Amino acid sequence: MNNNAPKKRIAILGAGGLGVCTALELANRGYQVDLYEEHSAPVKKASYVQEGKIHLGLIYALDKELHTAKEMINGALHFITYLKRWIEINPEEIISTPFYYGVHKGSLMSPEEVAVHYKRCSNYFKEARDHFKKDYLDLFESLEISRLSDSEIESVANPEYMEAIFKTTEYAVEPRIISEKLTEAVLAHPQINLFLNTMITAVSDQGNGLKVHFTHDQNPAAEVYPEVINATWNGLLAIDKTMGIEPPQKWSHRYKFGNKVFIPLKNEDLPSLTIVQGPFGDTVNFRDRGMFMSWYPIGRTGWSEDYRAPEWDNQYSTAERMDVFEKSLEEIALRIPSLRNLKFKREDISPVGGVIYAHGNQDVDLADSRLHTRFEVGMRSFGNYHTVNTGKYTIIPLLAVSIANQISGKTLF
């Protein structure tokens, strides 16, 4: 690279997981990146508060065409490899225990139906791994799934509530550790200017460029760029609308609690368990880094079909958050009794929530809800304005590199 060549300027709106990874990738390719974030720190919202599962398609069994499973598996196989382009990370230090999948009584699918889907996921995993020559999380060569016998179910969950339990080799990673490392990387990069506490209000076409309108410390301002990427989450649709761009289909924003409890755990203390198929919940055992717990019927507290999600984070008092945690714990402990054996103090609990943006405006208790499919993701371009539906945490690193390939016109692997 000619270091004396003028740097190409680009604005990235939103310093969540995707915005930061894309900024790092483009900066490494010679771009001068202005990265805007409305909050006080990068990577502290959706990519920080969720369970960190690196999906292998198993939860998307209601997508009968396997589109979502394939999207997730492709992203999962690249996840750690591509993160290592920007940060130092040892996957063995941040992964959870392997996931079980519990088919809840009243599930939208029978155990036999989900078993067929799991087999298809396992087959595609092999095909994709052979194609990409990458291991899952740089550790695992195959997706193994086995159904527990009736006598084994009780060791994982309450058989009163479960029709079947499947043992898998799917994992989560601790997203807070990744967030911290990405934050360090973006703050240290000489070709990235990070603007915090800066709310994007509009983008307008100026003919010779795109003007980004924003407020910083309540003061309005604007800056013109040759190219703009909208990688926001809450504000994606509202900013697109200022450019006259409508979403391709109906959508929804949801607010979901993903409670963390910071106590050291042994493998046998708690299963990492996702309950399917429908509006249920999950637990994640991160060993020394604690646990994650959610129960959807109580924890999904917000729903909006507006262009911008409400400021849900500011709407709950500490007492209200603890109430959601306690009620969620009570319900999920009926299904996973080992939760009752865990000892923790109030100060160990982080009852946080995050916004989920997705195509579809029917909730997950309906089999035909579009929320059961998450494959219509990626970047849409309108001239030099690009808007990105991130989809899921799993695909962020792969999507960031793909975006950089399209923007730069150079395909790097």
CB 99 within 8 A of CB 274: yes
Q: Say whether pLDDT at 207 is over 90.
A: no
Q: What is the mean pLDDT of the chain?
A: 95
Query: Of the candidates 50, 5, 9, which has an alpha carbon nearest to the alpha carbon of residue 209?
Result: 9
- What whole-number percentage of the chain has pLDDT above 90? 93
Sequence letter at residue 330:
E
CB 242 within 8 A of CB 202: yes
What is the Cα–Cα distance from 32 to 34, expressed in whole angstroms?
7
The size of the chain, in residues, is: 413
Residue 171 pairs in a beta bridge with 54
What is the Cα–Cα distance from 224 to 213, expressed in whole angstroms?
9
> What's the pLDDT tens digit per position in 30-78?
999 999 999 999 999 889 889 999 999 999 999 999 999 999 999 999 9
pLDDT, average across residues 385-407 = 96
CB 272 within 8 A of CB 101: no
> What's the pLDDT tens digit per position in 287-335?
999 999 999 999 999 999 999 999 999 999 999 999 999 999 999 999 9
Q: Say whether pLDDT at 410 is over 70.
A: yes
Q: Say whether pLDDT at 2 is over 50.
A: no
Distance, C-alpha 4 to centroid of its chain: 38
Q: Say whether pLDDT at 3 is over 70.
A: no
> What's the pLDDT tens digit per position in 211-220?
999 999 889 9
Q: Positive or negative CA dihedral for 387, 390, 395, 396?
A: positive
pLDDT, average across residues 358-375 = 92
Q: Say what the pLDDT of residue 6 is.
A: 57
> What's the pLDDT tens digit per position in 228-254?
999 999 899 999 999 999 999 999 999
What is the Cα–Cα distance from 139 to 95, expressed in whole angstroms?
11
What is the Cα–Cα distance from 308 to 252, expressed in whole angstroms?
10
State how far the alpha carbon of 124 is from the alpha carbons of 63, 73, 142, 260, 393, in Å: 14, 8, 10, 32, 20
SS (H, E, C) the chain: CCCCCCCEEEEEECCCHHHHHHHHHHHHCCEEEEEECCCCCCCCCHHHHCCCEECCCHHHCCCCCCHHHHHHHHHHHHHHHHHCCCCCCCHHHCECCCEEEEEECCCCCCHHHHHHHHHHHHHHHHHHHHHHCCCECCCECCCCEEECCHHHHCCCCCCCCEEEEEEECCEEECHHHHHHHHHHHHHHCCCEEEECCEEEEEEEECCCCEEEEEEECCEEEEEEECCEEECCCCCHHHHHHHCCCCCCCCEEEEEEECEEECCCCCHHHCCEEEEECCCCEEEEECHHHCEEEEEHHHHEEEEECCCCCCCHHHCCCHHHHHHHHHHHHHHHHHHCHHHHHCCCCHHHEECCEEEEEEECCCCCCCCCCHHHCCCCCEEEEECCEEEEECCCHHHHHHHHHHHHHHHHCCCCC
Q: Say what the pLDDT of residue 1 is.
A: 38
Q: Say what the pLDDT of residue 4 is.
A: 46
